[in-house]
């Protein structure tokens, strides 16, 4: 059968639009469910919770890396792209996961770490064995290191005594940057996609894609959006498209801005179908030290900052081009960062959900957000597992003496990535049902009333049921909440207003992310679709603390 190029474009476009309908659930596999009681989550654990996920209403699971690894950077240091880390199970488990997920109409999204490999990867071992080995060219080398810095702190160059040379690593020294100049790298990554595609995977998160081309211009080093990035990535993707039309690429380019999404999500420079919307992830981070610090002066208006407004209000930015998230494995828990963990725990968690789901774009929910999971309490340096958090102690406490040990611990309790990597809270039993009691690999959540899935399933107005409702509403009003246009504004009293509309329908969200009452226009006679307060009192023209509503405007 001959399919002409226009038909192919139609098929590919339909596939993208189909992905735009989805709600993605992000799983950090080590912490979701431990099926064999070894203290670590695993694939069998995830499989055992697929009914729960189906019931929640999600359409796809983004699995953080599950490949063989030393876990130096939580699996983003891959030892073998085609093997499942034995702690997580086997390839048979993975096949079973895909099969069981498909039965429930749930897609699996693999996290493709294409910028770097582990320093224990076979290729790197060969690369340092001899400069004559072809693998040597898979990586980036110098005799004279410059002062380029790693994103995780310290020099980006690491010395290899046997070669008397340095290799480049943008992240941890255990993550060696691949040389994308070499066609081999590209082919190797195409082969990785082939492998998972053949096992039924259609969605791919392309990790750290803005970094594949590093360059120095007029003495200035740059590691993001290099001049050959598009060329490299298009070579890679075009090879994939030769045989596969139904793949979906979500690009992870941290800190990307709306105009850059417009450039790279369509047209001649397209490198991904969709990008994560990083508009809010920095809110409350230290001005100089990012997530390794804390800025108590963050403002509610930051949730309607220029980038966020642009994503929503610019009609050129289509819903399928961006993926919104409140928390990820690279942030702390949203409720602890921006909500009220105590008095208004449920209302503020629901308000953050309502805010996210009012936005144009695909929605991603990090495991645990649907039950308002909070940051745990880390007492000292030894409680942390994340390489970035530990490096921060070394650099900002030990070396630069910018923070005291206690300060760093305090900041990490607010913003560290480890907060989002803690065991899921399933019930009130030992280790909250994560396993049968074996010590967990990372700190657990504290106990608080109604915090578990089991309790929240029973409580009609729980955060969990709020998420279920909001996901259902998104589907019921898909022409507005998924495909509709968006208009977002910050009202004078800090209430955020998001209007979504299609030709014949309009849905308005008024979001109060503060612990204060807010006066609004009376919305009597409106059909309320969602309300973060479960009683029917009030709501005439006052929003109570963290009260947010979504209503149908006739
Ligand atoms: C991405 C991942 C992050 C990881 C980094 C290096 O930003 O989301 O967790 O540390 O890439 O792979």
Q: Measured between alpha carbons, how far is 269 from 237 in angstroms, rounded to an integer?
A: 12
Coil, strand or helix at 550: strand
Determine the distance separating the centroid of ligand 1 and the alpha carbon of 18, expressed in angstroms: 27
Give the residue carrying structure tokens 């977002």: 488
For residue 86 the two structure tokens come to: 């034995």
Average pLDDT, the chain: 96
DSSP symbol at 42: -
Start-end of H helices in 379-444: 387-392, 405-415
Q: Which atom of ligand 1 is least distant from the CA of 328? A: 8
Question: pLDDT grade, residue 345 (50/70/90)?
Answer: very high
Per-residue confidence (pLDDT) for residue 5, from 0 to 100: 76
Q: Which domains does the chain have, with CATH numbers?
A: 5-116+183-464 (3.20.20.80), 117-177 (3.90.400.10), 484-553 (2.60.40.1180)
Summarize the confidence of residues 134-161 as an average pLDDT: 94
Summarize the confidence of residues 513-523 as an average pLDDT: 91
Concerning whether 252 is annotated as a catalytic residue, the answer is yes
SS (H, E, C) 223-234: CCCCCCHHHHHH
Q: Measured between alpha carbons, how far is 305 from 294 in angstroms, rounded to an integer?
A: 18
Contact 519, 541 (CB under 8 A): yes
Write phi, then psi, for 235 (nearest 5 degrees). Answer: -55, -50
Determine the distance separating the centroid of ligand 1 and the alpha carbon of 546, expressed in angstroms: 32
Question: pLDDT grade, residue 501 (50/70/90)?
Answer: very high
For residue 416 the two structure tokens come to: 């560290």
Per-residue confidence (pLDDT) for residue 220, from 0 to 100: 85
Q: Which of 171, 256, 329, 385 to mutate to test the pocket of ligand 1 (most atoms within 8 A of CB)?
A: 171
Q: Measured between alpha carbons, how far is 59 from 57 in angstroms, rounded to an integer?
A: 7
Q: Which residues contact 486 (CB under 8 A, 6 or more apart)?
A: 312, 313, 359, 360, 498, 499, 500
Per-residue confidence (pLDDT) for residue 458, from 0 to 100: 97
Q: What is the dihedral of CA 72, 76, 81, 87, to 10 degrees?
A: 50
Alpha carbon separation from 453 to 21, 102, 227 (Å, rounded): 25, 23, 48
Question: pLDDT grade, residue 3 (50/70/90)?
Answer: low
Q: Measured between alpha carbons, how far is 393 from 452 in angstroms, rounded to an integer?
A: 32
Per-residue confidence (pLDDT) for residue 538, from 0 to 100: 60
Contact 397, 182 (CB under 8 A): no
Summarize the confidence of residues 462-476 as an average pLDDT: 98
pLDDT of 164-204, one tens digit each? 999 999 999 999 999 999 999 999 999 999 999 999 999 99
Q: Measured between alpha carbons, how far is 481 from 489 in angstroms, rounded to an integer?
A: 17
Which residue's CA is minimally distant from atom 8 of ligand 1?
A: 330
Residue 71: other Cβ atoms inside 10 A: 19
Q: Which of 29, 76, 175 to mutate to test the pocket of ligand 1 (most atoms within 8 A of CB)?
A: 76
Q: Which residues contact 436 (CB under 8 A, 6 or more apart)?
A: 37, 430
Residue 407: other Cβ atoms inside 10 A: 14
Q: Which of 112, 170, 207 to mutate to test the pocket of ligand 1 (most atoms within 8 A of CB)?
A: 207
Per-residue confidence (pLDDT) for residue 1, from 0 to 100: 55
Give the residue carrying structure tokens 């010395």: 159
Question: pLDDT grade, residue 6 (50/70/90)?
Answer: confident
Which residue's CA is minimally distant from atom 9 of ligand 1?
A: 330
Question: pLDDT grade, residue 114 (50/70/90)?
Answer: very high
Residue 227: other Cβ atoms inside 10 A: 10
Concerning whether 207 is annotated as a catalytic residue, the answer is yes
Determine the distance separating the centroid of ligand 1 and the alpha carbon of 225, expressed in angstroms: 16
Determine which one of 42, 68, 93, 252 is catalytic. Answer: 252
Determine the distance separating the centroid of ligand 1 and the alpha carbon of 499, expressed in angstroms: 33
Determine which one of 68, 158, 174, 207 is catalytic. Answer: 207
Determine the distance separating the centroid of ligand 1 and the alpha carbon of 76, expressed in angstroms: 6
Q: Which residues contact 417 (CB under 8 A, 6 or more apart)?
A: 74, 291, 329, 330, 331, 332, 386, 388, 389
**Is residue 525 scored above 80 in pLDDT?**
no
User: Which of 254, 309, 324 has its CA nearest to residue 26?
Assistant: 324
Contact 38, 57 (CB under 8 A): no
Q: Which atom of ligand 1 is least distant from the CA of 115? A: 12
Q: Which atom of ligand 1 is least distant from the CA of 330? A: 9
Determine the distance separating the centroid of ligand 1 and the alpha carbon of 330, expressed in angstroms: 7
Summarize the confidence of residues 212-235 as an average pLDDT: 93
Measured between its terminal Cα atoms, the distance across the chain in Å is 49
Determine the distance separating the centroid of ligand 1 and the alpha carbon of 324, expressed in angstroms: 17
Q: Which atom of ligand 1 is least distant from the CA of 388? A: 10
**Is residue 216 scored above 90 in pLDDT?**
no
Determine the distance separating the centroid of ligand 1 and the alpha carbon of 461, expressed in angstroms: 35
**Burial state string for 102-139 with b = 16 or more CB within 10 A and e = fewer than 16:** eeeebbbbbbbbbbbbbbbbebbeebbeeeeeebbebb
Q: Measured between alpha carbons, how far is 275 from 200 in angstroms, rounded to an integer?
A: 22
Summarize the confidence of residues 69-87 as an average pLDDT: 98
Q: Which of 71, 173, 208, 223 to mutate to test the pocket of ligand 1 (most atoms within 8 A of CB)?
A: 208
Q: Measured between alpha carbons, how far is 497 from 308 in angstroms, rounded to an integer?
A: 13
Within 13 Å, how many C-alpha atoms sit on residue 356's CB side? 32
Give the residue carrying structure tokens 């060219």: 137
Ligand 1 site residues, Cβ closer than 6 angstroms: 73, 76, 113, 171, 207-208, 252, 254, 329-330
pLDDT of 417-438, one tens digit each? 999 999 999 999 999 999 999 9
Alpha carbon separation from 412 to 28, 336, 393, 399 (Å, rounded): 19, 12, 10, 18
Q: Which atom of ligand 1 is least distant from the CA of 152? A: 10
Q: Measured between alpha carbons, how far is 497 from 548 in angstroms, rounded to an integer?
A: 10
Calculate what percentage of the chain has a pLDDT beyond 70. Answer: 99
């Amino acid at each position: 059968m001959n399919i002409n190029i226009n038909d192919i474009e139609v098929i590919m476009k339909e596939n993208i639009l189909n992905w735009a309908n989805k709600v993605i659930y992000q799983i950090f596999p080590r912490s979701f469910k431990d099926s064999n009681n070894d203290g670590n989550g695993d694939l069998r654990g995830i499989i055992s919770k697929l009914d729960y996920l189906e019931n929640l209403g999600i359409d796809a699971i983004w699995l953080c890396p599950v490949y063989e690894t030393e876990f130096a950077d939580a699996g983003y240091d891959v030892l073998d792209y085609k093997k499942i880390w034995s702690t997580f199970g086997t390839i048979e488990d993975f096949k079973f996961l895909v099969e069981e997920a498909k039965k429930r109409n749930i897609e699996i999204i693999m996290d493709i770490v294409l910028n770097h490999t582990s320093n224990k990867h076979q290729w790197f071992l060969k690369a340092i064995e001899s400069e004559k080995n072809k693998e040597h060219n898979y990586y980036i080398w110098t005799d004279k290191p410059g002062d380029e810095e790693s994103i995780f702190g310290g020099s980006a160059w690491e010395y290899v005594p046997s070669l008397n040379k340095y290799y480049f690593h943008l992240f941890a020294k255990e993550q060696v940057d691949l040389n994308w100049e070499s066609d081999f790298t590209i082919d190797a990554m195409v082969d990785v996609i082939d492998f998972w595609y053949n096992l039924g995977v259609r969605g791919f998160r392309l990790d750290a894609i803005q970094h594949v081309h590093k360059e120095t211009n007029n003495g200035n080093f740059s590691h993001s959006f290099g001049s050959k990035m598009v060329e490299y990535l298009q070579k890679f993707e075009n090879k994939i498209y030769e045989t596969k039309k139904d793949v979906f690429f979500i690009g992870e380019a941290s800190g990307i801005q709306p105009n850059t999404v417009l450039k790279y999500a369509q047209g001649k420079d397209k490198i991904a179908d969709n990008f994560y919307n990083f508009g809010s992830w920095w809110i409350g981070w230290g001005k100089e030290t990012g997530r390794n610090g804390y800025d108590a002066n963050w403002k509610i208006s930051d949730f309607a900052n220029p980038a966020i407004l642009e994503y929503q209000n610019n009609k050129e930015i289509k819903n399928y081009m961006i993926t919104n998230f409140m928390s990820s494995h690279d942030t702390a828990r949203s409720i602890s960062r921006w909500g009220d963990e105590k008095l208004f725990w449920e209302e503020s968690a629901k308000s953050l959900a309502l805010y996210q789901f009012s936005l144009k774009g695909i929605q991603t929910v990090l495991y645990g957000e649907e039950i308002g999971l909070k940051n745990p309490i880390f007492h000292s340096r030894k409680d942390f597992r994340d390489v970035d958090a530990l490096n921060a102690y070394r650099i900002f406490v030990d070396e630069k003496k910018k923070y005291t040990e206690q300060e760093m611990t305090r900041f990490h309790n607010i913003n560290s990535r480890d907060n989002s990597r803690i065991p899921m809270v399933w019930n009130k039993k030992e280790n909250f049902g994560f396993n049968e009691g074996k010590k967990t690999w990372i700190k657990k959540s504290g106990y608080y009333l109604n915090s578990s899935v089991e309790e929240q399933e029973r409580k009609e107005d729980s955060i969990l049921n709020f998420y279920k409702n909001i996901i259902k509403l998104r589907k019921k009003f898909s022409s507005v909440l998924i495909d509709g246009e968006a208009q977002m504004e910050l009202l004078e009293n800090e209430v955020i207003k998001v209007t979504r509309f299609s030709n014949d329908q309009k849905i308005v969200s008024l979001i109060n992310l503060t612990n204060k009452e807010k006066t609004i226009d009376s919305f009597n006679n409106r059909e309320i679709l969602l309300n973060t307060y479960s009683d029917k009192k009030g709501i005439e023209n006052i929003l109570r603390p963290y009260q947010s509503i979504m209503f149908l405007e006739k």
